[in-house]
Structure 1
Amino acid sequence: MAEKIVLYTKDRSLKKELSGQLPRGYSLERPDKTPVQSIVFYDLDSMRSGGIKELSENNPVVALTKHRHTETVMEAVSYGAYEVIQRPVKKDSLARLLDELISFRQEITETIDMTDPFPAPTCAIVGNSPIIMDVCKKLARLSQVEVPVLVTGETGTGKELIAEAIAQLSSRFGKPFVVVNCAAVPEALLESELFGFEKGSFTGAVAPKEGMLKIADGGCVFFDEVGELPLSLQGKLLRFLQTQTFYPIGSTKELQVDVRVISATNRNLSAMVREGKFREDLYHRIRVTTIEIPPLRERKKDFIPLIHFFLDRYRHTAQRQIKGISKAFLKKLVSYDWPGNIRELENNIRSAIALSKAHYLTTFELKGIEAHVRQAQTPEETIAAAVVPYLKNAIEKKEKNIYDRLIGEIDRAALQYILSHTHDNQSEAARLLGINRLTLRKKLQG
């Protein structure tokens, strides 16, 4: 049975032109009654472009025009046209477009409805997977005790949200929450931003200024990306953490404050300590307790609530009402690795909403992540993918003792990760690795 295309035109020559270019299996129909989800061709040169708006509510509309003006194209798209093609129509281009439209129409037959408002999340992180439930329980406990907290996790996982939630659930709710981005403030300015300064203490200090620590008095100070803190400032911060006192630059008067310190990093601080890039005493001061935020790729069960949450947040920006997503859309999101985690997911949802061509988000709005979809690998394949390039490079360079060097690199990486995971508990690290503690110590010393 031929696939029917409904043609809206007052130009008889267009029907003749299209009939000669349509692939086999398609036929043109008059617009007596347009069934839902029919493919519609709309002649911009003989019909009002505003007519596209109503038709595109339930049908993919392809606009056609002889003109090569950007205004015509933009107007058609703003009314909801799926695509705009120039006349004369090329047979190959038309065939590719029709194949895409059939796939698009097929995809939105299997959808997940998300029209109901998303329930307000009870935790700082949206989701209901067991791993997120554990994070939320730990967050609730730590908010009730006055100890420094180190929040760890990859970039984009929501570390600042966790820090804010700890402050809001604590007795310091409503008090200042001051963010110090250790990576964003230039090293030369960081000390004056933290501690403040007196008038005339350096060139340009025309008036005294309170530092962030003074502004945070009574509340919380959040050191974001604390791993980027320069060594020259780490000692001064350590003294503040020990005494809650500091001297503004150029002042002889010591100030006392009452602040709770929360820090966050995506770096491996224990490895930085061993490399001499981060003070060990400061490391132990800021990580009295820790919360590790899992990466998005380990939270497969949270994708639907996360998508629903962002859909509710941004659906007002869409050209048409967004009712939900296709099942293929969800499958594609789950199969991706998400190196940028929640932040990257949020941006992709926003982009898909802005580019949506139907009432449901589809994979046709996710072409930007197509090249990065992860192929499932066994643990053995993953290890081989890392080791083989190393061996090839060593052989090409005619290096010696390749085996010993390879084992040394693997040992180093494994020990760094396992010690970070166990928070430098060597007994637990040895147990997880299946070796005795003496062997572990020898490897660390070697």
Structure 2
Amino acid sequence: MVHFSLGTTLVLTTCMIWTAASTKSIITCDTGDNVQHLTCESGVIGVQSALYGRKDRETCSEGRPNNQLTVTDCSQMGTVDIIKKRCNGKKECEFNTNVVRTSDPCVGIFKYLETNYTCFDARHVVICYGSLVHLSCDEGQVILVYGADYGRHDHNTCSFGRPTTQTNDVDCSSSNTFSIIYERCNGKNSCTVMPTTPLLGDPCVGTYKYLEMAYVCEYPGVISLVSQIYSMLHLRLSTSLLLATTCLLCLADSMRTVKTCGGGSSVHRITCDSGVINVQTAQYGTNDCSGTGTRNFMRKSCDGKKVCEMSIGKFRTSNRCHRTYTCLETKYTCILANHLVICELSTADLSCGVGDVIRVIGADYGRRDQTTCIYNWNYNNVKNIYCSRPTDKVSESCDGKNSCTIRASNSVFGDPCQGTYKYLEVAYVCLRSGYLSPSLCRGRAA
């Protein structure tokens, strides 16, 4: 791996070449079951560093005897390469410490996995086995491959009409896919790819597979620069460089209004195709028949999420409105924000660039689907999808700070559903110190 530093001027002029949000850090204690979840709301994953071992006495120390925390220079070789091959170029990636535990770098010491990654703007393509895709760039530009993976990592992708026996193996990945696709497509104006066994091998016989890849179109001069380090996602950028190249804008789109009327069972749904929800106003009823606290309830329930649904019966608390045909009206915008999912008993670092501070848009602890943070967990532990509790604890701990560490655990957020494996969902933006109102987050660098 080549390490180099770029001057500030060059860094700023390359801002439009690649876009990376601030570095995200996820820490998962080594119990074997805890899931580490990497995700990019926008762009694709670019793993920067990873540690399996221990570098201090405090991390993942809860309930551990002192003799399991004494070694603080413990690190397993090759961890970052394992996670890069598994996750680079994907929008989501899940695994547990069993994936990286190839040896024991410090016997008797309780270890953890810490992964640092960024989200790079890229074109994301999924090609089912036997299908053909033609990648092309505009005239004068060439393909730069970010990452590629061949196999299967979920039950749903490329599954139409396939028997379950061909989609059951969701831990199937080929080790040499990136190098094959890189040699085939990188630096070319166009490229045709057809994922087949003769080209990519067969990492799991009997499983119907697919190729997942991410790439961008750049001018040859940029490709020449990045070729020095084989692939941009294989470059470990320093923290200062990542912060300097942060071009992700905290942009709010135009105001949206959703109005739901009817009985108490009517469903009120607000959603953002891009970005996360930021409720501006909400009213239940009319001027002479209005429930109290509606706006605060909607903000606490929906801010920071992509989709928010609820029955309007939740707001029928006023006797004046009990027999009235009433409506719930919500006005909101969609804000481009940093979005994190932290599986239960994992830890994440929220961070901003120099001079910027955190403003939490929303946070929620529990479970709302059967697809997030499920790697190797029993169905009974993830089937309850009506387990969700908005929380102010993240905002109380992190607002106004340049960086903040959050642990997703019942001891911090309580237990909204015993026996269910939960996760913490957080959305936040980075603002200039002194400007913490999300309404001011329009056109400001995040």
> What TM-score range do you get, normalising by the shorter chain?
under 0.3
Task: Please identify which structure carries the higher strand content.
Answer: 2
Normalised by the length of structure 2, the TM-score is 0.20
- Give 1 or 2 for the bigger CA radius of gyration: 1
Task: Please identify which structure carries the higher helix content.
Answer: 1
Normalised by the length of structure 1, the TM-score is 0.20
Of structures 1 and 2, the one with the larger relative CO (CA 8 A, separation 6+) is: 2
